[in-house]
Amino acid sequence: MRQLGAAKRGVIVTFVMKLPRLTAFARASLALVPRPGRLFQDTSMVDRSVRVRARFPLAAALGVMLAGSIGVGSALADPPAGCWAPADYSLAPGERTPRRATAADHVSVPNAAAPGLPVLPPYAGVVRRVKLPDGVKLVALTFDLCETGGQVAGYDGPIFDALRRANVPATFFAGGKWLETHPTRAKQIAADPLFQIGNHSWDHANLHIDDLGKVRREILTTETAIADAKVAAVAQCPAATPVSHDRLFRFPYGTCSQAALDSANAVGEIVIQWDVVSGDPADIGAAAIVANVMRQVKPGSIIVMHANGNGKHTREALPLVIEKLRAAGYGFMTVSDLLHAGTPVTVPSCYIEHPGDTAVYDRKAAQKTSAVSHPGNAL
Ligand SMILES: [Zn+2]
């Protein structure tokens, strides 16, 4: 009996470890099945919860069926095999860290995408985490790819390598400008079934403002950049099935005005913050980043880190974060999949850890000293 129990546990563990690729494969399979409007593409949140309940068990069930019948690992080469040579994932000299932009780095701001339909409860407001069914231990790792005007931010390649190596899904909140100044990396991320791209504004503007025209431009031009990256990914990599059409938005610096928040929801963006602050922009070392995550994490957590070179020790901390979370029984999902697995926990305003704690960034923006640099735990 003990052997049988161990065998069963082994099967369950194997399934959980493979779940990201299984759901990715199920998603790819489902993409072949005609569905009204691809279900999640720019659609209203009105009856979303019904769709979500219908979709996730189906994906998991398909994954279970497929797991028994195919060689999942080889079928789900990550990203699809043949799109890039291994050397294409290697870091170029100086690529990891942010630098000052030159005239050669100029990119044009694309046209604004059409707004999505308004986000309604329970997704309206600011999502900080997800309430999951009892006993389900899942978290979402998120990495910001912030890029301000006047700089070309970094591509912290070891972070992507670590996620791929460990088969861990993640969500990248990318500046539209970052995507345009890193076209190959944008394609590689968009082509990867492990990775979801969210929206982090065009050029990391402080949107604690009431200029709703600017808020909409920052959001909707970046939606175009995200869509363009997915199109380019599929053009290069026809087997790619870019992850999720949900529109997820993260306000730069973790700050927003009420009007800006309402405007983001009004143009179809689910606003995603976090409940676990890694603190990785501060030079605190890998051990402290790991400790910060493990102290705050709970089922349904959304963890914020950086993959644009602003994280001083993120690349060293990440393998340990993954190892310790797995040892504590956690699995990983993209933000969209996490949302689909439970109920969003929302608040009515933006903040880093406590209401009002973004005031320092708002004062800087008001004084037009808004930082190109990312001091402290800047987001
Ligand atoms: Zn940011």
pLDDT at position 73 over 90: no
Going from the Cα of 89 to the center of ligand 1, the distance in angstroms, rounded, reads: 24
- According to the model, what pLDDT value does residue 31 have? 31
Ligand 1 mean position, distance from CA 303 (Å)? 14
Residue 235 C-alpha to ligand 1 middle, in angstroms?
29
Distance 139 CA to ligand 1 centre (A): 20
| Conformational region of residue 318, where left means phi above 0, alpha means psi within -120 to 50, and beta covers everything else | alpha
pLDDT of residue 41: 30
152 CA from centroid of ligand 1 (Å): 13
- The answer to whether residue 60 scores a pLDDT higher than 60 is no
Q: Is the pLDDT of residue 169 over 60?
A: yes
Distance 1 CA to ligand 1 centre (A): 52
Measure 353 CA to ligand 1 centroid, in angstroms: 15
Q: Rounded distance, CA 272 to CA 214, Å?
A: 19
Of 88 and 62, more confident? 88
Average pLDDT score over the chain: 82
How far is the C-alpha of 310 from the C-alpha of 316, rounded, in Å? 13
Query: pTM of this prediction?
Result: 0.81
Kindly list the structural domains of the chain, giving each domain's residue range(s) and its CATH number in brackets, ordered by start. Answer: 81-366 (3.20.20.370)
Per-residue model confidence as pLDDT tens digits over 152-167: 999 999 999 999 999 9
Q: Which two tokens stand for residue 135?
A: 């006993």
Q: How many angstroms separate the Cα of 65 from the Cα of each of 7, 224, 229, 279?
A: 19, 36, 32, 41
